[in-house]
Amino acid sequence: MRLLNLLLLVVLLLSACNTTKFVPDGEYLLDKVNIKSDNKDLKRDDLKEYLRQTPNAAVFGAFRMQLGVYNLAGKDTTKWYNKLWHRIGDPPVIYNSALTSLSVMQIQRMLENKGYIQAKVDTKVNTKGKKATVEYDIQSNTPYKLNQYKVDIDNKIITEIAQDTSKSLIKPNMLFDVDVLNAERERIASRVRQQGYYNFNKEFLSYTADSTLNSHKVNVNLELRDNIKQSFDSLGKVIFKQYTIRKVIYYANADPNSITDFTKKVELDTIRFRDFVLITPPKYFLKLDALVQSTYINPKSLYNDDAVEKTYAALNSLGPIKYVNITFKEAGNNLLDCYITINPSKTISLSTELEATYTAGYWGPAGNINYVDRNVFRGAEALSVLARGAFEWQDVTWAQEYGVQVGLKFPRFILPFASYDFKKSLHASTEFTAAFDYQLRPGEFTTLNADAGINYSWTRKQFRHKFQLFDLNYVYFPPGSPTIAFRDSFLNPIKPIFNPYNYVNHFITRMGYSGSYTTFNENRPLQNYSIARYSIETAGNLLNVLSHMFGQRDSTGAYEIFKIRFSQYIKGEFNITHHQIFDAENRFVYHLDVGLAVPYGNGDVIPFESRFYSGGANSVRGWGEGMLGPGVYNRISGLNRDFNQVGDIKLDMNMEYRTKLFWIMEGALFLDAGNIWTINDYSTQLGGTFHFDTFMNQIAIAYGTGIRFDIKFFIIRFDLGVKLFNPVLTRREQWRVNPGWNDLALHIAIGYPF
């Protein structure tokens, strides 16, 4: 709590500094900007983006901390510390009447474009001392609406596209919105170009509008531009000429403008496949097949704008390519040749990373060595090798962990017996993964974990997809592990404290799908947006079929493969994050994460590795990582880690206010709630079972504050969480009105929590 109070004190002191200290005489600090409108349909947040001058950013919407830091400087600008305050703070925004007038013009133009042709925007400027308040008063008046829409073009293709009411953006009785009308032109032109009309563009289309006096109704006609109609005999033959792609020619390290005949070899090699041609130096850096697999522009198909954009995105995503340029040239008889210039990029990198870790009370060093070759077989295959070592000091000795992860990613769909054309049409990437991990916990157990899998991934517009064909995980405990002392203390068969299944050899074979969707618009980064992620996986079904065929069982009656028990379960998870943006430096972020895992068949419990946990830097931050739940389960006192604190049902709800403080420093206030539960009653997790009539009273609540440092490529985060409601305690103690040290949790992490 002292840290929270100190932070609030710093914010108040900085914001209380003389805000007009560096405002020259005769000028004013822009203190406030207010927007008033007589029309509730005109959203204030939408109007704000047309303002050309806004006040200094405010922390939590009230305290101008960045301006306060700037004002800490003295008048002597030769002093280094004064320069420092000026560099990390923000100077005062001086009221500028010209920018106010420009804002009025921008708002007026926007309103006219939206159909409010008779709208008026008035301003009022109030000054007090050295501060100015600007008020924009909008009178929208009666808007103009669409009365009749007609397509008047003597061309069957355009007419069919424009009159497609299911796709058209123009709707009956809509506002006379110029932005929508322009978007409709772009839609029509895009659809026309997708059908091979390479020379067509939206500028060939125009609207004529006719409004009856005082009716506020507009009749709109879509036509070809006058110059096109007047020269239709000559221009029409060019505009409405449908093109087919003849060849696709790639130039590696070459300028296509310097080569007039791609069939000649001038210190270059020419490689052909079907109607794809690669012209490259003898030591070519990329195979033709890798380029073809990432190209959506196909010979013998009509020219298509979408195919061009997708090709740009796919080729630029290949590791060996630095940049791409695509051009077209007429090849006679309604044919186009596509020329793609590619430039190589650096393909091999080696990086190291050192870090300090803190997990459930244990500190220690950790390090990674990462090797990446983005073109290992000259087909844009990416080979990555990550070696990791970590140590934790546990009272009297070091716990150790060593691991190696290997990934080989192909930028194409790899599946035996599938045809070449089928695999190319999917435009998916294939990744083979393998990992090995060794963990030594002195006095407790030693375990080896081996994992291998195949994944397919692809992207379609705002959707990302990943299909896990299979993932095989083998957990092995060498002879003598767990130790006798650990077994006697925690795995006693009469009354075990930990679930014994987690400490025997077992197989996990998974198959699953995961995906994500975002509404983020790069062209409007200050518009509210959401990100959704979802996944489902199932385990053990294939092994279950094989085990039934061979009939192998252990002493408990469970089926085995190679005398090793395997898990069988289904698991799903969904989380969504919504960003409510006030301005570039202030936003609310809401987050919901729900998950459910159900064991069945050969398994009566979910493997430890696949269960959910709660608490930590990305969950309910009043608790340490994995130290909350399940339900009202009482963790074993005296243990830094209680391996029973996992569950089959997960619920996380978070709300966070983020703001920029000054320089690279950001601040946050957050409220978290959630817990985990088990799906079945387990003797080792008493109080952890989910019940509809009790789970609401078992949702833990925490609040806190955070400091983040935005160092360009990543965020360093320090979050201090405080328990507000602890469901494990007695009813009288659950609400932590006067929290103590045991109610605090400090989290150090990289990146935002969600």
Q: Is the pLDDT of residue 6 over 70?
A: no
pLDDT at 358: 62
What's the whole-model pTM score?
A: 0.80
* Residues 167 and 131 placed together within one structural domain of the fold: no
16 confidence band (pLDDT: 50, 70, 90): low
* Residues 471 and 552 placed together within one structural domain of the fold: yes
Q: What is the pLDDT of residues 458-474, one digit of tens each?
A: 888 889 999 999 899 99
* Residues 504 and 623 placed together within one structural domain of the fold: no
pLDDT at 492: 77
Reference 511, options 569, 551, 449; nearest CA is: 569
Question: Do the domain assignments include residue 592?
Answer: no
Helices (H) and strands (E) counted in the chain, each on its own, are 14, 29
Look at residues 551, 571, 591 and tell me which one is the last residue of a structural domain.
571
Least confident of 189-193, 378-382, 662-666, 678-682: 662-666
* Residues 14 and 97 placed together within one structural domain of the fold: yes
Number of domains in the chain: 6
DSSP 149: E
* Residues 264 and 358 placed together within one structural domain of the fold: no
Measured at the alpha carbon of residue 618, what is the angle toward residues 634 and 567, in degrees to the nearest 5?
65
* Residues 118 and 160 placed together within one structural domain of the fold: no
Question: Do the domain assignments include residue 729?
Answer: yes
* Residues 117 and 250 placed together within one structural domain of the fold: no
Question: Do the domain assignments include residue 64?
Answer: yes
Least confident of 81-95, 256-270, 360-374: 256-270
Q: Is the pLDDT of residue 45 over 60?
A: yes
* Residues 633 and 722 placed together within one structural domain of the fold: yes
Q: How many CA atoms lie within 13 A of 195 on its CB side?
A: 15
DSSP 204: G
Q: How far apart are the first and last CA of the chain?
A: 24
**DSSP assignment of 93-137:** -B--HHHHHHHHHHHHHHHHHTT-TT-EEEEEEEEETTEEEEEEE
Question: Do the domain assignments include residue 583?
Answer: no
Mean pLDDT of the chain: 87
- Structure-token pair, residue 11: 């914010």
Distance of alpha carbon 173 from alpha carbon 159, whole angstroms:
21
Q: What is the pLDDT of residues 481-511, one digit of tens each?
A: 888 888 888 887 777 788 777 788 888 889 9
Look at residues 295, 324, 344 and tell me which one is the last residue of a structural domain.
344
Overall average pLDDT of the 699-712 stretch: 93
Provide the domain limits for residue 173.
145-239
Look at residues 139, 157, 192 and tell me which one is the last residue of a structural domain.
139
pLDDT at 3: 47
Reference 499, options 678, 727, 700; nearest CA is: 678
